[in-house]
Amino acid sequence: MSFDEIYIKYKQQIFRLCMGYTNDIDSAKDMVQETFIIVWKNLDRFRNESSHGTWIYRIAVNNCLRHIEKEKKFEKSDMPKVIAEEIYDDKFDDKVKFLYKCISELNESERIIISLVLEAMPQSQIASIIGLSEVNVRVRIHRIKEKLANKFKTNEQF
Protein backbone atom coordinates (compact mmCIF):
# COMPACT_ATOMS: atom_id res chain seq x y z
CA MET A 1 0.00 0.00 0.00
CA SER A 2 1.43 3.40 -0.98
CA PHE A 3 1.47 6.40 1.35
CA ASP A 4 -1.28 8.09 -0.71
CA GLU A 5 -3.50 5.04 -0.34
CA ILE A 6 -2.86 4.87 3.41
CA TYR A 7 -3.77 8.55 3.76
CA ILE A 8 -6.97 8.21 1.76
CA LYS A 9 -8.03 5.04 3.54
CA TYR A 10 -7.36 6.12 7.12
CA LYS A 11 -7.62 9.91 7.35
CA GLN A 12 -11.33 10.02 8.25
CA GLN A 13 -11.05 7.28 10.85
CA ILE A 14 -8.01 8.88 12.44
CA PHE A 15 -9.80 12.24 12.45
CA ARG A 16 -12.76 10.79 14.36
CA LEU A 17 -10.38 9.23 16.89
CA CYS A 18 -8.56 12.54 17.39
CA MET A 19 -11.86 14.37 17.59
CA GLY A 20 -13.00 11.94 20.29
CA TYR A 21 -9.82 12.71 22.18
CA THR A 22 -9.71 16.51 21.89
CA ASN A 23 -13.29 17.52 21.01
CA ASP A 24 -11.77 20.32 18.97
CA ILE A 25 -11.84 20.31 15.17
CA ASP A 26 -8.66 22.31 14.60
CA SER A 27 -6.61 20.28 17.08
CA ALA A 28 -7.99 17.06 15.62
CA LYS A 29 -7.03 18.12 12.09
CA ASP A 30 -3.52 19.00 13.28
CA MET A 31 -3.25 15.66 15.01
CA VAL A 32 -4.29 13.83 11.83
CA GLN A 33 -1.51 15.63 10.01
CA GLU A 34 1.03 14.82 12.74
CA THR A 35 -0.03 11.18 12.68
CA PHE A 36 0.57 10.89 8.95
CA ILE A 37 3.94 12.63 9.23
CA ILE A 38 4.97 9.96 11.76
CA VAL A 39 3.54 7.26 9.48
CA TRP A 40 5.56 8.67 6.60
CA LYS A 41 8.76 8.71 8.67
CA ASN A 42 8.24 5.05 9.61
CA LEU A 43 7.11 3.82 6.19
CA ASP A 44 9.95 1.30 5.89
CA ARG A 45 8.69 -0.44 9.02
CA PHE A 46 5.12 -0.35 7.71
CA ARG A 47 5.96 -2.79 4.91
CA ASN A 48 6.90 -5.47 7.43
CA GLU A 49 3.80 -5.08 9.58
CA SER A 50 1.22 -7.82 9.38
CA SER A 51 -1.66 -5.65 10.52
CA HIS A 52 -1.49 -2.24 8.89
CA GLY A 53 -4.59 -0.94 10.65
CA THR A 54 -3.22 -1.75 14.13
CA TRP A 55 0.11 -0.17 13.26
CA ILE A 56 -1.42 3.09 12.04
CA TYR A 57 -3.85 3.28 14.95
CA ARG A 58 -1.00 2.76 17.43
CA ILE A 59 0.75 5.80 16.00
CA ALA A 60 -2.48 7.81 16.05
CA VAL A 61 -3.37 6.80 19.63
CA ASN A 62 0.15 7.48 20.90
CA ASN A 63 0.11 10.85 19.19
CA CYS A 64 -3.18 11.62 20.97
CA LEU A 65 -1.75 10.53 24.32
CA ARG A 66 1.20 12.87 24.06
CA HIS A 67 -1.07 15.72 23.05
CA ILE A 68 -0.59 17.16 26.58
CA GLU A 69 2.87 18.20 25.47
CA LYS A 70 1.43 20.54 22.90
CA GLU A 71 -1.58 21.80 24.80
CA LYS A 72 -1.59 25.48 25.52
CA LYS A 73 -1.90 26.46 29.13
CA PHE A 74 -5.26 27.96 28.25
CA GLU A 75 -7.59 25.03 28.76
CA LYS A 76 -10.81 24.89 26.79
CA SER A 77 -12.86 24.33 29.94
CA ASP A 78 -11.59 27.69 31.21
CA MET A 79 -13.10 29.53 28.28
CA PRO A 80 -16.34 31.43 28.58
CA LYS A 81 -19.17 29.21 27.42
CA VAL A 82 -20.05 31.27 24.36
CA ILE A 83 -16.49 31.13 22.99
CA ALA A 84 -16.20 27.43 23.72
CA GLU A 85 -19.36 26.76 21.74
CA GLU A 86 -18.10 28.74 18.77
CA ILE A 87 -15.24 26.28 18.39
CA TYR A 88 -17.65 23.78 16.89
CA ASP A 89 -17.86 23.81 13.19
CA ASP A 90 -21.19 23.83 11.39
CA LYS A 91 -20.27 20.49 9.91
CA PHE A 92 -21.50 18.68 12.99
CA ASP A 93 -25.12 18.49 13.94
CA ASP A 94 -26.23 18.84 17.56
CA LYS A 95 -26.32 15.11 18.29
CA VAL A 96 -22.78 14.57 17.07
CA LYS A 97 -21.61 17.60 19.05
CA PHE A 98 -23.32 16.24 22.13
CA LEU A 99 -21.72 12.83 21.63
CA TYR A 100 -18.26 14.39 21.38
CA LYS A 101 -18.99 16.50 24.45
CA CYS A 102 -19.92 13.36 26.43
CA ILE A 103 -16.80 11.56 25.24
CA SER A 104 -14.65 14.57 26.22
CA GLU A 105 -15.91 14.21 29.80
CA LEU A 106 -14.37 10.73 30.05
CA ASN A 107 -10.75 10.27 31.06
CA GLU A 108 -8.02 10.04 28.41
CA SER A 109 -7.81 6.26 28.12
CA GLU A 110 -11.60 5.92 28.09
CA ARG A 111 -11.86 8.47 25.28
CA ILE A 112 -9.43 6.46 23.18
CA ILE A 113 -11.10 3.11 23.85
CA ILE A 114 -14.63 4.31 23.16
CA SER A 115 -13.58 6.02 19.93
CA LEU A 116 -12.06 2.75 18.75
CA VAL A 117 -15.22 0.87 19.78
CA LEU A 118 -17.36 3.32 17.84
CA GLU A 119 -15.13 2.69 14.82
CA ALA A 120 -16.36 -0.92 15.12
CA MET A 121 -12.87 -2.20 15.85
CA PRO A 122 -12.64 -5.76 17.21
CA GLN A 123 -11.72 -5.99 20.90
CA SER A 124 -8.61 -8.03 20.11
CA GLN A 125 -7.31 -5.21 17.92
CA ILE A 126 -8.09 -2.58 20.58
CA ALA A 127 -6.20 -4.73 23.10
CA SER A 128 -3.22 -4.89 20.77
CA ILE A 129 -3.23 -1.12 20.18
CA ILE A 130 -3.52 -0.16 23.84
CA GLY A 131 -1.37 -2.99 25.24
CA LEU A 132 -4.02 -4.54 27.48
CA SER A 133 -5.44 -8.04 27.67
CA GLU A 134 -8.64 -8.73 25.78
CA VAL A 135 -10.46 -9.49 29.02
CA ASN A 136 -9.39 -6.18 30.49
CA VAL A 137 -10.48 -4.36 27.35
CA ARG A 138 -13.88 -6.10 27.43
CA VAL A 139 -14.49 -5.04 31.05
CA ARG A 140 -13.45 -1.47 30.32
CA ILE A 141 -15.62 -1.23 27.21
CA HIS A 142 -18.62 -2.39 29.19
CA ARG A 143 -18.06 0.29 31.84
CA ILE A 144 -17.42 3.07 29.34
CA LYS A 145 -20.53 2.19 27.33
CA GLU A 146 -22.55 2.39 30.53
CA LYS A 147 -21.05 5.74 31.46
CA LEU A 148 -21.77 7.14 28.03
CA ALA A 149 -25.33 5.84 27.91
CA ASN A 150 -25.96 7.35 31.36
CA LYS A 151 -24.77 10.72 30.17
CA PHE A 152 -27.22 10.53 27.28
CA LYS A 153 -30.03 9.44 29.59
CA THR A 154 -29.31 12.21 32.10
CA ASN A 155 -29.54 14.74 29.32
CA GLU A 156 -32.69 13.10 27.98
CA GLN A 157 -31.14 12.47 24.63
CA PHE A 158 -32.88 9.08 24.32
Contact footprint for other proteins (CB under 8 A): 3-4, 7-8, 11-12, 15-16, 25, 29, 32-33, 36-38, 40, 42, 45, 55, 58-59, 61-63, 65-66, 68-69, 89, 91-93, 95-96, 99, 107-110, 112, 118, 120, 128-132, 136, 139, 145-146, 148-149, 152-153, 158
Q: Least distance in Å: CB of 115 to other proteins?
A: 9
Nearer to other proteins, 73 or 81 (CB): 73
* C-alpha–C-alpha distance, residues 151 and 128, integer Å: 28
| Least Cβ distance, residue 10 to other proteins (angstroms) | 11
Distance between CA atoms of 40 and 33, rounded to whole angstroms? 10
Alpha carbon separation from 152 to 17, 18, 85 (Å, rounded): 20, 21, 19
Q: How far is CA 153 from the centre of its chain?
A: 23
Closest CB 100 distance from other proteins, rounded Å: 9
Least distance CB 128 / other proteins (angstroms): 7
Question: Nearer to other proteins by C-beta: 38 or 84?
Answer: 38
Q: What is the DSSP letter of 78?
A: G
Closer residue to other proteins, CB minimum distance, 17 or 80: 17
**Who's near 6: CB < 8 A, 6+ residues apart?**
36, 39, 46, 52, 56
From the number of C-beta atoms within 10 Å of its C-beta (0-12, 13-18, 19+), residue 65 rates as middle
CB of 57 to other proteins, least distance (A): 10
CB atoms within 10 A of CB 89: 10
Q: Select 50 or 80, whichever has its Cβ closest to other proteins.
A: 50
